[in-house]
């Protein structure tokens, strides 16, 4: 964690035809997409991102519902941060971490993920007292559980984040892009960031994404019982600039 926690850094993917192939796009279409999303000016979003950050930091209980998902956890006392071109290019998220032992319920991810070269689809977790007690991913269930058994912290969550990039709409099997998808959130098994630390330690940090837009089945996020986002759209006036 020396680089992440103690140096100034920003991660950028160098565009390549293989990325276009992975995303299911022509090279020309991917080139246009890549430069559009990477050159996006976050200035117009920053006030609303800061408003969301403040909202997250005031929240104790989060409730997320959607297709196959009914999940509750606490954010009490844990800082939130904005990512607006300062950590990644492309960027666009507000992130924190849940209280380590607070997650209860189930989550069904609907974005494919590559981890250690293995493709995972329809990952499903069941939580009790913050721990992933059941994990399924179809034919890759055994591989999934092997990753989660890497160390004790891999079965706890190290990050909760809301994806906010208005130009990233579809998964491309590259987490630097997929975790920023408009109307998404990610709930990440493994290591917590020092700046939003819940105490979880692991060699794993696996950003798994759920899109809650209507075209992906919809979903709702509640902060302390108040509906904050419905079908990927924020409801508060102060957050309207974050809608796509």
Percent helix / strand / coil, the chain, rounded to 5: 30, 30, 40
Bridge partner residues of 66 (DSSP): 69, 219
For residue 91 the two structure tokens come to 């960027």
Secondary structure letter of residue 81 according to DSSP:
E
Indicate the number of domains in the chain. 1
What is this structure's pTM? 0.94
Rounded mean pLDDT of the chain? 96
Q: Give the contacts of 176 (CB within 8 A, at least 6 positions apart).
A: 11, 13, 88, 90
Span 229-242, pLDDT tens digits? 999 999 999 999 99
What percentage of residues in the chain have a pLDDT greater than 90?
Answer: 93
Span 135-186, pLDDT tens digits? 999 999 999 999 999 999 999 999 999 999 999 999 999 999 999 999 999 9
For residue 21, say if its preceding peptide bond is cis, omega within 30 degrees of 0. Answer: no
Contact 115, 212 (CB under 8 A): no
Which ranges of 159-218 would DSSP assign to H, the alpha helix?
175-178
Give the residue numbers spanning the domain of 140. Answer: 2-242
For residue 240 the two structure tokens come to 């309207």
Contact 75, 96 (CB under 8 A): yes
Confidence of residue 2 (pLDDT cuts 50, 70, 90): confident
Contact 16, 23 (CB under 8 A): no
Question: What does the alpha-carbon distance between residue 209 and residue 186 come to, in Å, rounded to a whole number?
Answer: 4
What percentage of residues in the chain have a pLDDT greater than 70?
Answer: 100
10 phi/psi in degrees, rounded to 5? -155, 130
Confidence of residue 7 (pLDDT cuts 50, 70, 90): confident
The predicted pLDDT at position 8 comes to 83
* Average pLDDT over every residue of 24-36: 95
Phi-psi region of 159 (alpha: psi -120 to 50; beta: other; left: phi over 0): beta
Span 123-143, pLDDT tens digits? 999 999 999 999 999 999 999
Contact 62, 80 (CB under 8 A): no
The predicted pLDDT at position 166 comes to 97
């Amino acid at each position: 964690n020396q680089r992440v926690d103690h140096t100034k850094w920003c991660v950028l993917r160098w565009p390549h035809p293989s990325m276009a192939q992975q995303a299911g796009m022509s090279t020309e279409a991917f080139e246009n997409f890549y430069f559009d999303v990477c050159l996006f000016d976050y200035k117009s979003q920053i006030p609303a991102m800061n408003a969301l950050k403040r909202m997250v930091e005031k929240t104790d209980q989060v409730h997320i519902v959607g297709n196959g998902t009914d999940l509750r956890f606490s954010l009490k006392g844990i800082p939130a941060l904005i990512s607006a071109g300062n950590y990644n290019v492309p960027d666009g998220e507000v992130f924190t971490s849940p209280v380590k032992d607070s997650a209860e319920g189930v989550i069904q991810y609907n974005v494919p993920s590559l981890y250690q070269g293995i493709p995972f689809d329809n990952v499903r977790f069941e939580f009790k007292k913050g721990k992933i007690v059941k994990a399924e991913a179809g034919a890759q269930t055994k591989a999934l559980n092997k990753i989660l058994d890497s160390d004790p912290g891999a079965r706890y969550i190290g990050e909760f984040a809301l994806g906010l990039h208005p130009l990233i709409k579809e998964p491309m099997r590259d987490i630097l892009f997929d975790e920023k998808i408009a109307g998404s959130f990610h709930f990440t098994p493994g290591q917590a960031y020092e700046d939003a630390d819940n105490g979880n330690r692991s060699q794993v940090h696996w950003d798994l994404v759920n899109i809650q837009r209507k075209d992906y089945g919809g979903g709702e996020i509640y902060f302390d019982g108040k509906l904050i986002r419905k079908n990927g759209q924020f409801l508060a006036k102060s957050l309207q600039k974050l809608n796509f």
